[in-house]
Every structure is written in C-alpha cells, then in structure tokens.
Amino acid sequence: MKPKPIAAFLIWLVLILPLVACDSLAPNPTPSPSPVPSPTFSIPAPVERSNWWHDAVFYEIFVRSFYDSDGDGIGDLQGLIAKLDYLNDGDPSSGDDLGITAIWLMPIMQSPSSHGYDVIDYYTVERDYGTNEDFHALIDAAHARGIRVIIDLVLNHTSSSHPWFINASSGPDAPYRDWYVWSDENPGFPGPWGQQVWYRRGNAYYYALFWDQMPDLNYRNPAVTAEMYEVIRFWLEDMDVDGFRLDAVRHLIEDGTQQESTPATHAWLDGFHDYYTGIEPEAVTVGEVWADTVTVVPYVARDELDLAFEFSLAEAIIESVAVNTNTAFRSRLEQVVAAYDAGDYATFLTNHDQNRVMTAVGGNPDKARLAATILLTLPGTPFIYYGEEIGMTGQKPDELIRTPMQWSADANGGFTSGRPWQPLNADYETVNVAVQAADPHSLLNRYRALIHLRNDHPALRTGALMPLESTCRPVYAFLRQCEEENVLVLLNFSAQEQHGCAFSLPESALEEGTYAVEELLVGLSGLPDLAVDADGGFAGYLPAAALTPHEGYVLLLRQRRTR
C-alpha cells in the first residue's frame, strides 16, 4: 500500500476556516470534543494527468436493477460481471458490444434504502450487492476489458441510521455531535426549493437538506474532512476505483440561508482536488451541480472537479427533439461550448432522477435515435443511463425510472430467476436487448454504431466544434475538427424530410483543397466532394438531395492529394 498522501489540508484549512467561521447555520453552536485526533497533512507535489475521460463514453448503472446472479430478485456485482461483455467485450473490432469505456455505479455502499444515497458504512459494499471481494473481482474484470469504474460518493450527508448520527443525537456532549449541523433553536428558514431543512431531535435542531433521514455532515469540523479523506483514500487505493461521481456537491457547506455554491464549498473542493490527485493522478471526479451553466462552470474552471454534468444542455436536447425544432438546442449548445475549456463537461440525456428519454420524447423511436446521435457526436464526455440504449420507458416516482434492465422476452425480462425487487416495465417482451440485437435498425444498434464511431474517430471525442450555416432551419450542422481528422455532423430535427439543404462555413482550420466525403453512420452514399477555400471555408455545400426526418449524419472528410 502506498503511504497516505493526505492532501494540502493545512493550506485548505487556512483558506476555509475564515469562510466557515462566519457560517450562521448553527447560531448557537455547542462545543464538543473531537472524536478523532487533529489531522496532520502533507502537501502533494504537482502531478501530470492524461485526462483519459475526454476520450471515454460512460454508462450509468443502478446495480440493483442491472442483473441478478443469485435469484434473490436484486441485481448484484456478480451479475454485473456476467454482463460486462455486453458493455465492452475487450475486442474493439467485434462491434457486438455496446463499446462503452467507463462505468458509473450508483451508490454501492451499505445503506438502509434501495437507492443507497443514505450511507451507513462508507467502507463496505452494500450486502444486497455482494462483498468487497466481489467489488475487487468487478474491477479486475472491467479493467481487463478496458473499462474504467467510478462510483457514487455521497459527501453531503449520511443516513440518520449511521453510527455517527446515532451518537451525535445522544446529546450536546456526544463525541460526534459536531459532525453534523445543529442549532439550539429552530432557525426557521427553508431550503433552496422551499423545503423543510431543520428537524428536531431531543432539545435541538439538525440540518438535513434533502430529507430528515439524511442529515448533512458538518465540513466546518476538520475531523469530518479527515474521515472523508480516508474514505476517498480507501476507495482509490484499497478498492482501485478510477474516480467518483459526487452527489449534490454544490450543497456541501451552507452559509446561513445561502445553501448552494457557497465560497466555503468552492474552497473545500479546491483542497479535495489536490488530495485525490495526490493519491491517484488519473482519478476523475464528475460533479452533480444541478444548476445553469454559469453556476456550473466555476467548479471545473477552478480545477475543483474534472467534469460537471451539463443539465441545461441535456434539457435543451430533449426539448428540441420532442418539439421538432433545434432552437433551444442550438442556443444552449453554443453557449456551453463558449463557456468551458476543451469539453470539460459531462453530457447526457436523462439520468436516474429524471423521466427516461423514450418517455420524454413521447415513445417515438426515431426521436430517441436522433437524441442518441446528438449526444454521441457532441463535445464533452457522454454518459448513458442504463436501458436508454433500448428505449426503456419510465416516469417519476424514482422506482419507475430505475426498473430492472430488460434483457430478453423471458420471464422477468431475463433479469432474475426470482421475484424482481421492482416489477419490470410491461413492454419487456418486445423492448429488450435480445430483440434489438437482432434488428440492424434498432435503437440498440444505433447506440452501438455511434459509440464505436466515437471510439474510432478522435474528431468526435475531442475535436473543436464550429457551427455551420444551413439553408434549412430544422437542420443543425457543425464541424468537429482536430489535428487528425475532420467530421461534419448534420442533424435534422424536423418530422419532415428536408430538401436541398446547403451548408456553409466562412473559415476554419481546414486546409485548402478538395475533400472526399464519406457518410459513416447511416450508409448515405454518393456524396459529392467538398471544395475548401484558402480561409478554410466553403459555401453552398449540398451533400444530399434529401435528409430523412429525425435523422443524423456523420460525414468524414478526407483531403484528396494531387500528385
């Protein structure tokens, strides 16, 4: 085991204590003894990082609903291992797998709830899913296939059943009292969306942003940071994870009624970034900062997180596809591309907290295919929610958007030989992996084709994006460009076929000359050459007489060399 590189905490402490000392969340704090020794920290040396996540395609998995290996009706880690070849079989030339290169596991730590976002033991795998040894087996099997694995890390709060909170609730002198946020009187203010956040326990009130069963940790207490740093070290070093998805990260430290994105939260994350990169330079963090782009950008621009989810862009994609116009998407995309450096954001369509894509687009498979094409041709690091690739439906409450994966038309969709923890969608006999794998025109095979294209073409992974001028307003087009290659993407948002669409670009880094054009996604053939002028621009390029409704096209440009 490597020695603990316990991050630049002394510097962090100097920075953050002035910020949190003025925190008014607990107007009548009660001093309590620290349950752990005062931490000492060393400052890590600067590290070089490869930023592998810019080339990755992530797949979000709710283990409980993915595949059950033992017939108890609950998905587990051994079940996930059994299905890894579906995700990536380790052979880039096979084309039979989905082609993803990274996995995000929703919470896998011990919890009293099915969702797992209320942790009672940060060091042990949820018993419904298996053991720590099973997790090691998953890591080994995933890494052997070229799949990285990140896990949900819930820093903001614990379960009310966590031993820390049970101890803290025993009275004002309890050793763990100051690990949570307490007030002798009810401060009375609501949470950011008007919810109750103060709850009585004994003669005092504790703060819980999301639910009374999820009390917030008190990061004003250095002992809390020291313990959570040890949790991070454990999962990076002892369990060999490749990083973390950080739940509710903008709520870590409140400042009175300001309960989101406070200066103290940003300061804490700055020290946190130094800490985890000091342990493992290749570790990645992606933050759930559910807010507008302006609020999200500082988290990555200041090197507090490596990536943050772009909720505004996701909403704009779904809205535009649903209503057959690219207006919202076009506006939001161009703002996002201008706001971030080099694709330092995570793109997605929907996740475990939102109605599923197929439901959001009214059950229209053509729209779902278009949404997938948009996601996987954009800059940023794409995340795909399990079941999205076969068009699983689902609408709140949460249990109905986290239903078991539909593998086949067999009993219980091939998910379990027992009674599933949650009933499957009624359409599992027709909407499943087995049926769609055999259909070359299925949504699953569109996802497979897109992910493999992205893996094979650096322009689609890390190329710059330049919007094109289009004579057909429903068709949004852009150039993805990097040193190795150039790709044009055409997206028809309309429910009608578009005719005579011509595209122009005033200037770019394209070399002057003539380019052969090959369509890579849908097999459109006979495309004319593209003539590029001395400014790297072109005018009135007409690739095809007609463009199919709700369809996307990926056009590879190859410069013709004259002898």
Catalytic residue list contains 292: no
Catalytic residue list contains 230: no
The alpha carbon of residue 563 and the mean position of all alpha carbons in its chain are separated, in whole angstroms, by: 48
User: To which residue do tokens 């929907």 refer?
Assistant: 350
Biggest alpha carbon distance in the chain?
A: 87
Q: Of 247, 260, 280, 304, which is the active-site residue?
A: 247
How far is the C-alpha of 164 from the C-alpha of 157, rounded, in Å?
Answer: 11
Read off the tokens for 61: 């998995």
Q: Of 227, 274, 288, 389, which is the active-site residue?
A: 288
Give exposure, 249-283, as e/b (b: 16+ Cβ within 10 Å).
bbbbbbbeebbbbbbbbbbbbbbbbbbbbbbbebb
Read off the tokens for 201: 């326990």
How far is the C-alpha of 510 from the C-alpha of 485, rounded, in Å?
Answer: 9
Length, in residues, of the chain: 563
Angle at 245 between CA 75 and CA 47, to 5 degrees: 130
How far is the C-alpha of 498 from the C-alpha of 546, rounded, in Å?
Answer: 5
Query: Phi/psi class of residue 415: alpha, beta or left (left: φ > 0; alpha: ψ in -120 to 50)?
Result: alpha
Q: Give the residue among 256, 259, 236, 238 at the shortest CA–CA distance from 248.
A: 259
How far is the C-alpha of 378 from the C-alpha of 303, rounded, in Å?
Answer: 22
Dihedral over alpha carbons 197, 198, 202, 204 (to 10 degrees):
140
Q: Which residues participate in catalysis according to the annotation?
A: 247, 288
